[in-house]
Structure 1
Amino acid sequence: MSHSEVAFQKIDATDIKPLTNIMKRAFDEDSKQYLGIEEGGPPGYDDGTFLTKYALDSSSQAFKILMENKLIGAVILWIGEDGNNYLGNIFVDPLFQDKGIGTKVWKEIEGRYPETKKWTTETPGFSKRNHNFYVNKCGFKVIKILKPGDREEESYILEKVIE
């Protein structure tokens, strides 16, 4: 597998601990960079309960992301029968960020679900790197801002309509 290729494999219970470690590093990196705090993420991001709840949910499609057989992140999706899909979570180890990997992952996701009419996701208002990724790299548009102006609680709802 060349350095630029990414592979997906279904997440199982044995992946929760190593993925939680990566998720914690990724979310804490954003919290440090944008909020000036050492740690921060959604409830359970740092103890495995987030990934256990969502990645092992039978209604989600959850994949670990591998590069050269090395675990580097994960993605959790909900695929609607009506073509309206939800990107619940995507994260890449900070050591592998800003190298185009997230964009490759997103292209792979879009290729796997060609019946999609619309993707929806949500991201923290403070995470400017996420906004750049979703809007400029993946083609999402911000459709709503929740709790605008609240530094820690502000959230962007984004959509990508597939023409």
Structure 2
Amino acid sequence: MADLSFESFSEEDIPDMTEIMTRSFNCDSMMHLGKNGGPTGYDNGEFLRTWGLDPHSTQYKIVRNNQTIGGVILWINDKTNINTLGLIFLDPNLQDGGLGLEVWNKIESMYPNTVKWCTETPIYSRRNHHFYINKCGFHLIKIKDPKDYENGSYIFEKEMNK
């Protein structure tokens, strides 16, 4: 894709990013649950302020053709090289065309010393399961609260080949 870049975000970026994040999470939740929803604070900026501006996280706004189209929050551990993908979201109008995989591949290339990636996603989000397993090469390692369709989650890992 043309001009895809990752730029660190700040407080000034949160309103625009929250709008994109809200649409992205609502689209996924509506598809699978028939209602809007997401993690606490996803729709008012609280989530991005808490986790994206956390001094221990590494955060990026995803920019294409000079327009913010999504965001990523990572936790990078330089001691163990076991890193965590905390969040990735894209404008829902741009999903299902390979952009998510392009973003993920760029993340992997930015952190070549990673030995393992970890992430978590809701049980209900079958589209995310497909993305992480079939597109990105993650493996399901644990199910948290397997009987709770709305609040349970799948834990994924991806061992990196060196």
TM-score interval, smaller chain? over 0.9
Q: Distance in 2 between matches of 1:5 and 1:159?
A: 29
Residue 158 in structure 1 maps to residue 156 in structure 2:
yes
Task: Give the structure 1 partner of residue 25 of structure 2.
Answer: 27
Contact kept, 8 Å, 1:146 with 1:154, in 2: the verdict is: yes
Superposition CA RMSD, Å: 0.9
Contact kept, 8 Å, 1:4 with 1:101, in 2: the verdict is: no
Contact kept, 8 Å, 1:122 with 1:158, in 2: the verdict is: yes
Task: Give the paired residue count.
Answer: 160
1:66-114 per-residue CA deviation (whole Å, 9 max, x = no partner) reads 1111110000000012100000000000011011111000000000000
Task: Give the structure 2 partner of residue 72 of structure 1.
Answer: 69
TM-score normalized by structure 2?
A: 0.96
TM superposition shift of 1:13:
0.9
Residues 105-116 of structure 1 correspond to what in structure 2 (within 5 A)? 105-116=103-114
Residue 47 in structure 1 maps to residue 44 in structure 2:
yes
Q: Distance in 1 between matches of 2:129 and 2:3?
A: 24
The runs of at least 4 aligned residues of structure 1 exceeding 2 Å deviation read none
Q: Distance in 2 between matches of 1:158 and 1:57?
A: 23
Task: Give the structure 1 partner of residue 53 of structure 2.
Answer: 56
The amino acid of 1:142's aligned partner reads: L
TM-score normalized by structure 1?
A: 0.96
Q: Aligned to 1:146, which of 136, 144, 147?
A: 144
TM superposition shift of 1:5:
4.2
Q: Distance in 2 between matches of 1:41 and 1:119?
A: 22
Structure 2: 5+ residue runs without aligned partners? Answer: none
Q: Distance in 2 between matches of 1:128 and 1:10?
A: 29
Q: Aligned to 1:134, which of 115, 129, 132?
A: 132
The amino acid of 1:12's aligned partner reads: S
